[in-house]
Amino acid sequence: MSARQPLRIGILGSGKGSNCQSIIDAIAQKRLDAEIACVLSDVAEACILARARRHRIPAEFISGAPFKTKLDGEAEQAYIAALRRYGANAVALAGFMRIVKPGLLGAFPGRILNIHPALLPAFPGMESWKQALAYGVKVTGCTVHLVDAGTDTGPIVVQKAVPVLEDDTAETLHARIQVEEHKAYPEALQLLAEGRLAVAGRRVRVT
Ligand code: GRF
């Protein structure tokens, strides 16, 4: 039997990159047995790129144009080419504000994860913490899931619950969800690194 390849993560993000930081920290603290191959962003001035560069991680802006909300066509091919060039063998979407399409999914089958700020399948889509607050749920949280062709629909790997407090605002609730995200993402990636995710239909079993 051949030895398992070390996990080399390509991180895709559009924003501040706090989840990217949690992955960097988990690797440094040896809670996550992986390397970050590269950080790619569709926003040239995104903090996630500056963060990666500070840690001497290869970081590139790659335009998603002409599309605004999906990664498709030539832009998708440019992302796949960069991920391959940097030797990524898995992809972590960390605040990447585009729907990924079959081209990227097919290039890394079963090896693309996303983090979502709600307990899926509740509150898919944008600004889920605001949706949760407006709905009046008492508990929300975060979800790390494998990415499929839907929006926030893939098999669930790790979830963490966060109580909604009486005096929560959108900002305080999102801040507490992010604390849990920063634990959940490295945990899920470590399961992928150890080859312990067995997917059967919708269900992910940790072996
Ligand atoms: C997180 O809340 C994540 O759940 C969502 O986008 C946000 C990204 O935050 N998908 P950051 O850029 O990692 O700080």
Per the annotation, the verdict on 145 as an active-site residue is no
Tell me the fold of 114-207: Rossmann fold (3.40.50)
pLDDT in tens, 96-112: 999 999 999 999 999 99
Query: Whose alpha carbon is nearest atom 8 of ligand 1?
Result: 95
Q: What is the pLDDT of residue 1?
A: 45
Q: Which percentage of the chain shows pLDDT scores above 70?
A: 99
Query: CATH: 1.10.10.10, 1.10.287.110, 3.40.50.170, 3.40.50.261. Which one for 7-109?
Result: 3.40.50.170
Spatial contact of 79 and 104, defined as CB atoms under 8 Å apart: yes
Rounded average pLDDT over 145-156? 96
Mutate to test the pocket of ligand 1, among 23, 152, 178, 183 (most ligand atoms within 8 A of CB): 178
**CA–CA separation, 159 and 181 (whole Å):** 9
Bigger pLDDT: 84 vs 4: 84
How far is it, in rounded angstroms, from Cα 70 to Cα 54? 28
pTM score: 0.97
* Rounded Cα–Cα distance for residues 23 and 8 (Å): 12
Locate CATH 3.40.50.170 in the chain: 7-109, 114-207
| Residues 6+ away with beta carbon under 8 Å from 186 | 22, 23, 25, 26, 31, 32
Match 């972590």 to its residue by tokens.
92
91 vs 105: CA distance, rounded Å: 10
